[in-house]
Chain A
Amino acid sequence: MQQKEFLHKVLPFKDKVYRLAKRLLVSTDEAEDATQELYLKLWKNKHKLEQYKNVEAFAMTMTKNYCLDQLKAKRSNNLTLVHSNYKDNNISLQRELELKDSVSKVHDLIETLPEKQKIIIQLRDVENYEYEEIGKILDLQPTAVRVALSRARKTIREQLIKQHNYGIS
C-alpha cells in the first residue's frame, strides 16, 4: 500500500482517535502520544489493513485497547491521591463557577463513569456511530451497547439534576 493511499484511508478519523484517547487518558499530551503511537502501529501494519473491511472500526478498537493498557500500566505504577476528607466551605462561590461552566461539569461526570460506558458515550454522543459499529469496535452485541449507553445517560442526567437541586436548596 502506498503512502498516499494509506493516508487517504486512515487520516479522516484521526480526530476521532484523538478524542477517544483523550476521553480515556484525560491529559492532552498523553492523548497526542497515543494518537501518534496508534498511527505508527497502523503504518507498520499497513499491508494487513487491506484485509479489514472497516479500517476505522479496527483503528478505534486498537485505540481503545492501547488506552486501556496505558491506564492499567499507570495504575500499577502510580499511587493515587485520594482526598475525600477535603471540605469546601465556600459553596456559593463554587456553585456560581460551576453554573458558569456547567459544560465542564458534564465532562467531570463522564469522567466518573466506568470505562466501558465512557467509551460508548464517546463513540455514540460525540462521534455519532451507529450501534452496530460500536458493537463491532468493542466486540459487543448492539443490544448490550444500548443497555450500557442507556445506563450511562441516565447516570449523567441523575447526577446533573442532583447537583442542580443541591445548588438551589
Chain B
Amino acid sequence: MELANIEQLIERYENAETSLKEEQVLKEYFQQENVPAHLSEYKAYFNYFSESSTERYTKTLPIKPRRTNWKWLSVAALVALMVSVYSINNSGKLSIEERQEAELAYQETQKAFQLISQNLNKGNSVAIAGLQEFEKAQNKVFKSKK
C-alpha cells in the first residue's frame, strides 16, 4: 500500500467516511514494524484497537445452575403427582370386608330409624287422646258459665 494512499485513507477515516474494509486495511498497515515517523502515533492508535478486540470474557455465565433447578423441580412435581394419583385410586376401591361392614352399618341404622318412627307414631295417638280429654273439660266449663 502506497504512503499517499494511506494518508488519504487516514484523512477519510477521521471524517468517518471509510468502510469497514478500508479500516481493516489501515489496521493491517499499522501492524507492520516500519511505519513513517510522522504517522507513528497512529501505530499506537490502531494497534490499541486490534489489541483490545482480543479481550475475552472468561467467567462462566450463571445460566446453567438455574436450569438444573428446573430439572429437579420437575422431578419433584412428577413424584408428587404420582403419589397423589396412586392414593386417589386406592381410596376409590374398597376391600370385601370393608364393603360388608358398611352394609351391616347401613342395616343397623335403618333399623334404628324404623324404631324411632314407630315410637313417634305411638306418641302421636297418646297426644291426640290427651287433647280430646282437654276438649271435654273445656266444654264443661263453657256450659257451666252459660
Contact = CB atoms under 8 A, between A and B. Distances in A.
Interface of A: 3, 6-7, 11, 14-15, 17-19, 22, 32, 35-36, 39-40, 43, 102-103, 105-107, 125-128, 130, 145-147, 149-150, 153-154, 156-157, 160-161, 164
Q: Is the interface of A mostly helix, strand, loop or mixed?
A: helix
A116 B135 CA distance: 111
Contacts of A15: 55-57
19 contacts: A3-B63, A3-B67, A15-B57, A18-B55, A18-B57, A40-B63, A102-B41, A103-B44, A103-B48, A125-B49, A126-B49, A128-B53, A149-B16, A150-B14, A153-B14, A157-B42, A160-B41, A160-B44, A160-B45
Contacts of B61: 11, 14, 35-36, 39
Interface of B: 13-17, 20, 23-24, 40-42, 44-45, 47-49, 51-53, 55-57, 59, 61-64, 66-67
Q: Is the interface of B mostly helix, strand, loop or mixed?
A: helix
Nearest to A120: B16
A39 to B, nearest CB: 5
A32 B57 contact: yes
Contact of A19 (B14, B55, B62): B55
A9 to B, nearest CB: 12
Nearest to B56: A15
B44 A43 contact: no
B16 to A, nearest CB: 4
B1 to A, nearest CB: 19
A102 B49 contact: no
Contacts of B24: 128
A145 B16 CA distance: 9
A39 B15 contact: no
Nearest to A46: B63
